[in-house]
């Protein structure tokens, strides 16, 4: 009898795909036939993609403790972006259909100066590069040099009122450009939210690029959020609307599975996901797991949660 012994670094199913997503997939394969098998591989997709424009970075800061930066190839081909597919390599294959120009972001709600922001005007402003750790709830992690501007500086332009206690974010919803929004994998459009003080924290970035160039479509072009002390799904992609609101806004994964994905979603090794531990993580490109750090290694945000039960408010 042949007994198969898995190596110690073998991925568990829980490390790869959330059960809620797996159970709700509605991939429509009939009618595609052999054409589906002829889809180009990632290498072909990358070769066909236009060159990414370089960004004018005014300042650079390493905020990942000198850790090795994950290579661009990995970060741009291993993604969670369910509008373009639920497998990790789907977004790199499929996101070429997204048109990122023209692109404006509506900013409204509880503010004195609502308006619109044009992506090209944002890119033309003063940009910073910050190397951040980035932790995904499925127990994988990366280190990325993101390029953008502090979200707080951007939000101040619109003069939030005293009623503004939270900031709500919304992703583009366009089934013509985003093929998987035709299926009921998630409740579209993708939405996220932060408390106002979290949004204003200096670590929170409104991100327009990575590795010194504009964002690839699969990584959230042309504008995404980066909140390095929270799990990756909080860093919403392809933002089209930002609202100041008085009450805690709904968020996509919290609506899908509230017992698994809380509103705060701070990286906390002491709070297990209901189906696996969050105490360990694996950097993409490394063989062995490492200990997960509280707040993903950003202790300066701890004061935001003083007096809160972080197991109850996960």
Residue 201: closest CA among 305, 50, 304:
304
CATH number at residue 136: 3.90.420.10
What pLDDT does residue 50 have?
A: 55
Domain extent for 268: 56-305
Q: Are strands 115-118 and 104-109 parallel, antiparallel or unpaired?
A: antiparallel
- Helix residue ranges, H only, the chain: 19-24, 34-37, 42-48, 72-77, 90-94, 119-124, 151-156, 196-200, 252-256
**Cα 17 from Cα 275, distance rounded (Å):** 11
Q: Residue 38 has what pLDDT?
A: 30
d(CA 93, CA 245): 36
pLDDT at residue 13, as a whole number:
39
Residue 103 covered by a domain? yes
Task: Give 100: exposed, middle or buried? Use CB within 10 Å, 0-12, 13-18, 19+.
Answer: middle
Q: Quick one: pLDDT at residue 219?
A: 98
Position 258 in a domain:
yes
Number of domains composing the chain: 1
Query: Does residue 40 lie within any of the structural domains?
Result: no
State the pairing for strand pair 239-245/104-109.
parallel
pLDDT per residue rounded down to tens, the chain (314 residues): 444 433 333 334 344 444 444 444 433 333 333 233 233 334 433 443 458 999 999 999 999 999 999 999 999 999 999 999 999 999 999 999 999 999 999 999 999 999 999 999 999 999 999 999 999 999 999 999 999 999 999 999 999 999 999 999 999 999 999 999 999 899 999 999 999 999 999 999 999 999 999 999 999 999 999 999 999 999 999 999 999 999 999 999 999 999 999 999 999 999 999 999 999 999 999 999 999 999 999 999 999 999 999 999 99
DSSP assignment string, 71-135: PHHHHHHS---GGG-SSTTHHHHHGGG---SS-EEEEEESBSS-EEEEHHHHHHS-EEEEEEEEE
Burial profile 261-270: b = 16 or more Cβ within 10 angstroms, e = fewer:
bbbbbbbbbe
Does 251 reside within a domain? yes
How many whole angstroms from its chain centre is CA 198?
16
In a domain, 198, yes or no: yes
**Count of residues for the chain?**
314
Q: Does 285 map to a domain?
A: yes
pLDDT at 184: 87
pTM of the model: 0.86
Determine, yes or no, domain membership for 132.
yes
90 assigned to some structural domain: yes
């Amino acid at each position: 009898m042949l007994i198969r012994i898995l190596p110690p670094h073998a991925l568990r199913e829980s490390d790869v795909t959330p059960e809620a997503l797996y159970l709700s997939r509605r991939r429509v394969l009939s009618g595609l036939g052999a054409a589906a098998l002829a889809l180009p591989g990632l290498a072909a997709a990358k070769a066909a993609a236009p060159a990414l424009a370089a960004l004018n970075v005014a300042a650079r800061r390493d905020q990942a403790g000198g850790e090795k930066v994950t290579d661009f190839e990995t970060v741009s081909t291993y993604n969670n972006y369910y509008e373009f597919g639920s497998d990790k390599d789907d977004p790199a294959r499929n996101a070429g259909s997204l048109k990122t120009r023209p692109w404006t972001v509506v900013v409204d709600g509880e503010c004195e100066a609502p308006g619109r922001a044009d992506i090209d005007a944002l890119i033309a402003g003063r940009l910073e590069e910050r190397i951040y750790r980035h932790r995904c709830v499925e127990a994988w992690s990366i280190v990325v040099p993101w390029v953008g501007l502090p979200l707080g500086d951007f939000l101040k332009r619109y003069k939030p009122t005293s009623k503004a206690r939270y900031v709500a974010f919304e992703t583009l919803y366009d089934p013509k450009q985003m093929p998987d929004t035709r299926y009921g994998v998630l409740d579209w459009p993708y939405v996220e939210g932060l408390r106002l003080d979290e949004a204003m924290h200096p670590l929170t970035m409104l991100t327009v690029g990575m590795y010194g160039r504009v964002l690839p479509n699969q990584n959230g072009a042309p504008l995404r959020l980066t909140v390095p002390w929270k799990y990756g799904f909080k860093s919403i992609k392809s933002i089209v609307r930002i609202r100041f609101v008085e009450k805690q806004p709904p968020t996509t994964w919290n609506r899908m599975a509230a017992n698994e994905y809380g509103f705060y979603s701070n990286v906390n090794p002491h709070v297990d996901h209901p189906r696996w531990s969050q105490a360990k993580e694996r950097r993409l490109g490394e063989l062995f797991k490492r200990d997960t750090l509280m707040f993903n290694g950003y202790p300066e945000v701890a004061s935001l949660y003083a007096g809160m039960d972080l197991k109850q408010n996960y």
